[in-house]
Amino acid sequence: MPKLGILISGRGSNMDAILQHIQTGNLKAEVSVVISNKSSAKGLELAKSHGVSTQVFDPKGFDDLESYETAIIGCLDSYNVDLVVLAGYMKLVGDPLLTRYENRMVNIHPSLLPSFKGLNAQQQALDYGVKYSGCTVHYVTKEMDSGPIIKQAVVPVLNDDTVESLSNRILIEEHKIFAVAIQEVLAEI
């Protein structure tokens, strides 16, 4: 089975959806390790409840981004991870990870890229007044939220939407397309 290493920072609902797709046989892969940059990430408990190994690497414990990411790479390599999955990992990825996992690292973003990169994508969509938004799975490259697009899903933006209602509608699609995109990428590795 191809091995995934999932990086998170918080809730972990996308990570959970990936684990569920694996359990139901939709996604032919295994999650070797879940890594968080925050010890408080709720997703860590969720991962443990699935019996998945977890690790916390707090950037504060390292001199710089390079030594921090070198430690993460050491962990991922120790599990022979085939694909790195950023699932709500709220930290810019630096050169060490980009080099080690070139074309083998994917991210999910809650907008139809290239629109609304960066933080608060759903609020950006509401502020702009778009009538459709969605989510995007893409390869991770040096520029944030800019790598080649693998899969997208579209949702309508309703007149009375709040950030919460729009985020929830998008999240439902995130939980569907991430696993499909991962399966496609794994077929090419």
Catalytic residue numbers read 109
SS3 174: helix
110 binds ligand GRF (CB under 6 A): yes
10 binds ligand GRF (CB under 6 A): yes
Letters for 45-84 (x = contact with ligand GRF by CB under 6 A, - = none) are ----------------------------------------
Site for ligand GRF in 28-47 (CB under 6 A): 43
185 binds ligand GRF (CB under 6 A): no
Considering only 4, 5, 7, 12, the residue that binds ligand GRF (CB under 6 A) is: 12
CB of 11 or CB of 74, closer to ligand GRF:
11
Integer Cα distance of 137 and 2 in angstroms? 19
φ/ψ bin of 103: left (φ > 0), alpha (ψ from -120 to 50), beta (otherwise): left
93 binds ligand GRF (CB under 6 A): no
111 binds ligand GRF (CB under 6 A): no
Strands 53-56 and 30-36: parallel
The window from 12-20, 46-54, 58-66, 71-79 that contacts ligand GRF (CB under 6 A) reads: 12-20
Interior angle at CA 175, CA 34 and CA 75, nearest 5: 15
The CB-of-136 to ligand GRF minimum distance in angstroms stands at 9
The CB-of-78 to ligand GRF minimum distance in angstroms stands at 24
Residue 118: name the closest of 101, 136, 130 by CA.
Answer: 136
Q: How far is CA 90 from CA 14, 99, 184, in A?
A: 13, 19, 24
**Residue 169 has which token pair?**
């509608």
CB-based contact 69:94 (threshold 8 Å)? yes
Q: State the residues that interact with ligand GRF by CB under 6 A.
A: 8, 10-14, 43, 87-88, 108-110, 135, 171, 174
